[in-house]
């Protein structure tokens, strides 16, 4: 029997996130953690014969903004709307020379410098942690950016309403609420881990500053579009390939109260579903994330330890929706054949789709080396095997 869609994309996404059975599994592409690297995108549009002038929507990860023709070809059910930076921020990428190499430098609003080498222009990494040597008193005097600068949100409501009123797609925010990771961006990862063990008061002071930024940010964001967006994306990486990046009890004592405060504030202001991103083997944290009040877990890194999709669905599928987990992005998607990609997608979709509560995407962004044939296999297979039977 021919496969037939009976819902609009927005209806499909909302039904799935409500743990009801949609006509098929919703499909996502285009977010900061569910996007596509510009190199992979360039090859994809050439393969599809779709003309597009590539726009970089995330310079750090070098993600392209997919054009409407690509999103339609891949049957994507989501569209993204993002706030901007404060008008006072001068965020131009500047070419500089250091140690005999040319670098593309970007200093973000917090003063963190991100750099990409000109001879290997794939991603930006941090090359300056402005609070690496800071004391507790230095934190009080640091020029923290204002989350509630109204210039960030200029035109946001109009853009969101255009999607809501004039398109059938689910309206999804860009990434926000980065309370924990911003601290180590400022401090340096190794020093931050030392601080967690030796200077918890310092860590709490930094976390309070980043939490304040995001609470102020969300106050204005939700004033503008809390009644429009369907999904709000927040996140902090708190796990690695083999397990938590730091002891769960440290999370519960230092980070969780701030995460919970942010999530509960968002929930008090909007009916939108809250999507939380953490890479890695995050299973030890899932009960805490549910307790914080999140609705959705991303990216579901199925190749990490203890992250089997069937086990996750059995254990947490009634309380959480899963967004991602579509294909082994470390091994199969970049290195496999299209048939191997398709087989991996079918396995994962069938594990995560029962009962609703699943939105399809790759595990995190599609990296630059992924062949276009594999990208087509990824999305076409998700559509083909994602239909629910009439009796389910």
Helix axes 200-225, 156-166, angle to 10 degrees: 60
Query: What per-residue confidence (pLDDT) applies to 392?
Result: 47
> Domain-by-domain residue ranges, the chain?
9-88+131-385
Which stretch of 85-99, 144-158, 286-300 has the lowest confidence by average pLDDT?
A: 85-99
Mean pLDDT (whole number) for 276-305: 98
Query: What per-residue confidence (pLDDT) applies to 90?
Result: 87
* pLDDT class of 1 with cuts at 50, 70, 90: low
Which contiguous run of DSSP H or E holds residue 342? helix 338-352
Sheet of 36-37, strands arranged across: 36-37, 63-64, 56-58
- Looking at domain 9-88+131-385, its CATH class is alpha beta
DSSP codes, 285-330: GHHHHHHHT--EEE---TTSTT--HHHHHHHHTTT-EEE---S-TT
Helix, strand, coil distribution of the chain in percent, nearest 5: 40, 15, 40
For residues 359 and 26, is the Cβ–Cβ distance under 8 A?
yes
Q: Please, where are the H alpha helices in 226-308? A: 248-250, 256-269, 286-292
Positive or negative, the Cα torsion across 249, 255, 261, 264?
A: negative
What pLDDT digit, counting tens, does each position of 189-233 carry?
A: 999 999 999 999 999 999 999 999 999 999 999 999 999 999 999
Mean pLDDT (whole number) for 378-385: 98
CB atoms within 10 A of CB 311: 12
Dihedrals phi, psi of 159, to nearest 5 degrees: -65, -40
* pLDDT class of 391 with cuts at 50, 70, 90: very low
What pLDDT digit, counting tens, does each position of 320-370 carry?
A: 999 999 999 999 999 999 999 999 999 999 999 999 999 999 999 999 999
Alpha-carbon distances, residue 338 vs 39, 71, 332, 361 (angstroms): 19, 20, 9, 16
Cα separation of 169 and 157, whole Å? 16
Q: For the chain, state the CA radius of gyration.
A: 21
Query: What per-residue confidence (pLDDT) applies to 204?
Result: 98
Mean pLDDT (whole number) for 44-71: 98
pLDDT(245) > 60: yes
For residues 230 and 173, is the Cβ–Cβ distance under 8 A?
no
Better-scored residue on pLDDT, 2 or 379 = 379
Mean pLDDT for the chain overall: 97
Cα separation of 35 and 57, whole Å? 10
pLDDT(165) > 70: yes
Percentage of the chain beyond pLDDT 70 is 99
């Amino acid at each position: 029997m021919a496969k037939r869609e009976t819902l609009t994309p927005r209806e499909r996404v909302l039904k799935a996130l409500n743990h009801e059975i949609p006509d098929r599994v919703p499909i996502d592409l285009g977010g900061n953690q569910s996007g596509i690297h510009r190199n992979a995108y360039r090859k994809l549009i050439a393969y599809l014969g779709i003309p597009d002038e590539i726009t970089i929507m995330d310079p750090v990860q070098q993600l392209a903004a997919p054009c409407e023709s690509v999103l339609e070809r891949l049957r994507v059910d989501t569209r993204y709307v993002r706030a901007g930076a404060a008008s006072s921020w001068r965020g131009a990428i500047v070419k500089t020379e250091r140690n005999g190499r040319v670098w593309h430098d970007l200093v973000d609003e917090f003063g963190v410098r991100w750099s990409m080498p000109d001879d290997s222009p794939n991603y930006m990494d941090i090359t300056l942690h402005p609070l690496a040597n800071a004391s507790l008193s230095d934190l009080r005097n640091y020029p923290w950016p204002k989350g509630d600068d109204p210039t960030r949100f200029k035109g946001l409501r109009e853009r969101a309403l255009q999607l809501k009123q004039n398109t059938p797609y689910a309206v999804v925010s860009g990434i926000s609420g980065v309370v924990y990771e911003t601290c180590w961006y400022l401090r340096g990862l190794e020093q931050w881990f030392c601080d967690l063990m030796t200077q918890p008061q310092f860590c709490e002071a930094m976390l309070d500053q980043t939490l304040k930024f995001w609470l102020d940010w969300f106050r204005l964001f939700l004033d503008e579009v809390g009644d429009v967006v369907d999904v709000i994306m927040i996140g902090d990486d708190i796990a690695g390939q083999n397990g938590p990046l730091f002891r769960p009890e440290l999370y519960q004592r230092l980070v969780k109260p701030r995460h919970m405060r942010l999530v509960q504030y968002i929930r008090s202001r909007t009916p939108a579903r809250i999507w939380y991103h953490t890479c890695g083997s995050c299973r030890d944290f899932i009960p805490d994330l549910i307790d914080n009040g999140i609705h959705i877990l991303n990216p579901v890194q199925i190749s990490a330890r203890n992250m089997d999709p069937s086990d996750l669905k059995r254990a947490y599928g009634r309380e959480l929706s899963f967004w991602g987990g579509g294909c082994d992005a470390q091994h199969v998607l970049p290195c496999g054949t299209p048939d191997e990609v398709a087989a991996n997608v079918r396995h994962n979709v069938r594990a995560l789709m029962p009962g609703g509560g699943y939105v399809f995407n790759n595990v995190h962004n599609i990296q630059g080396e992924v062949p276009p044939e594999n990208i087509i296999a990824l999305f076409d297979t998700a559509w083909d095997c994602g239909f629910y039977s009439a009796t389910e």
